[in-house]
Structure 1
Amino acid sequence: MVVKAIESYEQFKSLIEGDKPIIIDFWATWCGPCRVIGPIFEKISDTPAGDKIDFYKVDVDAQEKISAEVGIQAMPTFVIFHKGQAVKKIVGANPNALQTGITEIANGL
Structure 2
Amino acid sequence: MRAFTRMAAFAGTAFVTLIAATAFAGELKPFETTAFEAAQQAGNPIVVDIWASWCPTCAAQEPIVEKLAALPDFSEATVFKVDFDKQKDVVQALGAQRQSTLIAFKGASETARSVGDTDPASIETLFRSALTN
Q: Shorter-normalised TM-score: what interval?
A: 0.7 to 0.9
Q: Is the contact made by 2:49 and 2:101 (CA closer than 8 Å) also made in structure 1?
A: yes
Match of 2:54 among 9, 25, 30: 30
Kindly indicate whether residue 116 of structure 2 is the aligned counterpart of residue 75 of structure 1.
no
What is the aligned counterpart of 2:45 among 21, 30, 35? 21
- Cα distance in structure 1, aligned partners of 2:46 and 2:129: 13
Superposed CA deviations along residues 43-93 of structure 1, whole A, max 9, x for unmatched, are: 100112322322221111111111001111122111112222222112113
Structure number with the bigger relative contact order (C-alpha 8 A, sep ≥ 6) is 1
Structure with higher Rg: it is: 2
Task: List aligned pairs for 1:18-97, cutoff 5 A.
Answer: 18-94=42-118, 95-97=120-122
- 1:9–1:63 CA contact under 8 A, matched in 2: no
- Report the alpha carbon displacement of residue 12 of structure 1 after superposing the two structures with TM: 3.4
Q: Percent identity?
A: 26
Cα distance in 1 for partners of 2:128, 2:43 equals: 18
Flag structure 1 segments of 5+ consecutive residues without an equivalent. Answer: none
Match of 1:98 among 123, 126, 129: 123
CA displacement, residues 4-50 of structure 1 (integer Å, 9 cap, x when unaligned): 111x4344333333311211111111111101110110010011232
User: What is the root-mean-square deviation of aligned Cα atoms in Å?
Assistant: 1.9
Stretches of structure 2 that go unaligned for 5 or more consecutive residues are 1-24
Summarize deviations over 1:81-108 as a string: whole Å, max 9, x none.
22222221121132221112212433x3
Q: Which has the higher helix share?
A: 2
Moved more, 53-62 or 63-72: 53-62
> Which TM-score applies when normalising by structure 1?
0.82
The aligned length equals: 107
